[in-house]
Amino acid sequence: MKKFAPANQIQDLQYFGEFGGVNPSISDSSTYTFLSAKTMFDTFEGNADGCYLYSRHTSPSNLYLGEALAAMEGTETANVAGTGMGAITAAILQLCKAGDHIISSRTIYGGTYAFLKNFTPQLNITTDFVDITKLDVVEAAITPETKIIYCESVSNPLLEVADIEGLAQLAKKHNLKLLVDNTFSPLTISPAHLGADIVMHSLTKFINGSSDTMGGVICANQEFIDAVRNVNDGASMLLGASMDSMRAASILKNLRTLHIRMKQHSKNAMFLAERFEADGLKTVYPGLPSHPGHELFKRMMNEEYGFGGMLTIDVGSLEKANELMELMQERNLGYLAVSLGFYKTLFSAPGSSTSSEIPEDEQAEMGLSDGLIRFSIGLDNDIERTYELMKQCMMEVGVLEAAMAY
Task: Choose one: 14-22, 24-32, 81-89, 268-276; the region binding ligand PLP (CB under 6 A).
Answer: 81-89
| Three-state secondary-structure class, residue 399 | helix
Under the binding rule (CB under 6 A), the answer on residue 111 touching ligand PLP is yes
Least distance in angstroms from the C-beta of 108 to ligand PLP: 7
Q: How far apart are CA 277 and CA 93, in angstroms?
A: 41
Under the binding rule (CB under 6 A), the answer on residue 191 touching ligand PLP is no
- According to CB under 6 A, which one of 186, 216, 316, 334 is a site residue for ligand PLP? 216
Least distance in angstroms from the C-beta of 247 to ligand PLP: 12
Q: Which of 293, 274, 225 is closest to 63 using CA atoms? A: 225
Under the binding rule (CB under 6 A), the answer on residue 213 touching ligand PLP is no
Looking at beta carbons only, is 47 or 118 nearer to ligand PLP? 118
Looking at beta carbons only, is 281 or 340 nearer to ligand PLP? 340
Looking at beta carbons only, is 88 or 296 nearer to ligand PLP? 88
Under the binding rule (CB under 6 A), the answer on residue 85 touching ligand PLP is yes
Under the binding rule (CB under 6 A), the answer on residue 161 touching ligand PLP is no
Q: How far apart are CA 51 and CA 45, in angstroms?
A: 12
- According to CB under 6 A, which one of 58, 204, 250, 348 is a site residue for ligand PLP? 204
Under the binding rule (CB under 6 A), the answer on residue 75 touching ligand PLP is no
- According to CB under 6 A, which one of 100, 160, 163, 181 is a site residue for ligand PLP? 181
Alpha-carbon radius of gyration of the chain? 22
Under the binding rule (CB under 6 A), the answer on residue 152 touching ligand PLP is yes
**Cβ-contact 207, 258 below 8 angstroms:** yes
Residue 256 burial (CB count, 10 A)? 14
Q: How far apart are CA 72 and CA 81, in angstroms?
A: 17
Q: Is the peptide bond before 6 cis (omega within 30 degrees of 0)?
A: no
Under the binding rule (CB under 6 A), the answer on residue 214 touching ligand PLP is yes
Residue 317 buriedness (CB in 10 A; 0-12 / 13-18 / 19+):
middle
Under the binding rule (CB under 6 A), the answer on residue 109 touching ligand PLP is yes
**Cβ-contact 187, 258 below 8 angstroms:** yes
Site string for ligand PLP, 15-54 (x = CB under 6 A): ----------------------------------------
Residue nearest to ligand PLP (CB): 84
Q: How far apart are the first and last CA of the chain?
A: 42
Q: Which of 276, 108, 105, 296 is closest to 189 using CA atoms? A: 296
**Subset of residues 219 to 278 that bind ligand PLP, contact rule: CB under 6 A:** none
Pairing between β-strand 216-220 and β-strand 177-181 as defined by DSSP bridges? unpaired
Pairing between β-strand 282-284 and β-strand 310-314 as defined by DSSP bridges? antiparallel
**Cβ-contact 104, 116 below 8 angstroms:** yes
Under the binding rule (CB under 6 A), the answer on residue 182 touching ligand PLP is no
Q: How far apart are CA 184 and CA 308, in angstroms?
A: 7
Under the binding rule (CB under 6 A), the answer on residue 83 touching ligand PLP is yes
Looking at beta carbons only, is 262 or 403 nearer to ligand PLP? 262
Looking at beta carbons only, is 73 or 152 nearer to ligand PLP? 152
Under the binding rule (CB under 6 A), the answer on residue 58 touching ligand PLP is no
Q: Where are the beta strands (DSSP E) in 190-261?
A: 198-202, 216-220
Size of the site for ligand PLP (CB under 6 A): 16
- According to CB under 6 A, which one of 107, 183, 188, 190 is a site residue for ligand PLP? 183
Looking at beta carbons only, is 43 or 188 nearer to ligand PLP? 188
Least distance in angstroms from the C-beta of 405 to ligand PLP: 32
Q: Which of 320, 325, 330 is closest to 398 using CA atoms? A: 320
Under the binding rule (CB under 6 A), the answer on residue 162 touching ligand PLP is no
Under the binding rule (CB under 6 A), the answer on residue 73 touching ligand PLP is no
Q: Residues near 100 by Cβ (< 8 Å), separated by ≥ 6?
A: 125, 126, 145, 146, 147
Q: Applying CB under 6 A, which residues contact ligand PLP?
A: 83-85, 109, 111-112, 152, 156, 181, 183-184, 202, 204, 214, 216, 354
